[in-house]
Copies of this chain bind each other. A is one copy, B any other.
Amino acid sequence: MFSSLSLKTLVHVKRPIMSPNSRLKESPTFNAKSTYRFFQSRTRIVVASFNEVLILHPSFVGMPGLTAYVGFHEICSPKKGELVFVSAASSAVGQLVGQFVKLMGCYVVGSAGSNIRYFPEGINIYFENVGGKMLDAVLLNMAIHGRIAACGMISQYNLEEPEGVCNLFGLLVKCVRMEGFVVSDHFHMYPKFLELALQYIKEGKIVYIEDIIEGLENAPSALIRLFTGQNVGKQVVVVAHE
């Protein structure tokens, strides 16, 4: 499904480029065999071992990871065995939601296109990244007492006029809760998330995929790929190699 040429699961860097941040404590899950320190910049978080072989997880233990965790685990209160639908499932956040869903013991269906299939038993949880027609289609397929975490609506960002969503009556008849959130509201949950995230990393249960384009000159096309849904994994532009 994925082209290995365009994907990287980890980015290795040789030296710390950020200042230690005392707000991020050492994780208790890493005390046994290896001890990690955390460094934080404005845009990314680094998990670093003491021997200075750094493993950069800017996405998984950063904004996309926390977003996926909060949206799925906190906003949607999943129960084992539920059906979860994730739109933009190959995106920076969506790919993590899909993995969290499976690790929770739920069933996941992901969409990286514009159509969804018919769900005869209904969708218990919808992790909303797309909006517009996708949301309209999902609203017709929600199960009773379903939950929608509204994380993004990428199909709408560049429209002059947003598309109208016509099936909101589905919220009433199915008693569905739809909740918008921004990750900055939930930074207090970071330690709780990080404990789970580091355990998953340690056990090798999470794969994080980046869709890498080389060269600043290709940044515009990378941006277009993002908004046309062509990226598979977090869209990254490599400006320079260390």
Listed in ascending order, the chain A residues whose CB lies under 8 Å from chain B are: 131, 135, 150-153, 156, 161-182, 185
Contact = CB atoms under 8 A, between A and B. Distances in A.
A171 B171 CA distance: 14
Given A163-B164, A166-B164, A181 B175 contact: yes
Contacts of A176: 179-180
B175 A177 contact: no
Contact of A131 (B151, B169, B179): B169
Contact of A153 (B162, B169, B175, B180): B169
A174 to B, nearest CB: 7
A171 B162 CA distance: 14
28 contacts: A131-B168, A135-B168, A151-B172, A153-B168, A153-B169, A153-B172, A162-B167, A162-B168, A162-B169, A163-B164, A163-B166, A164-B164, A164-B165, A165-B168, A170-B180, A171-B178, A172-B182, A173-B180, A173-B182, A174-B180, A175-B179, A175-B180, A175-B185, A176-B180, A177-B178, A177-B179, A177-B180, A178-B178
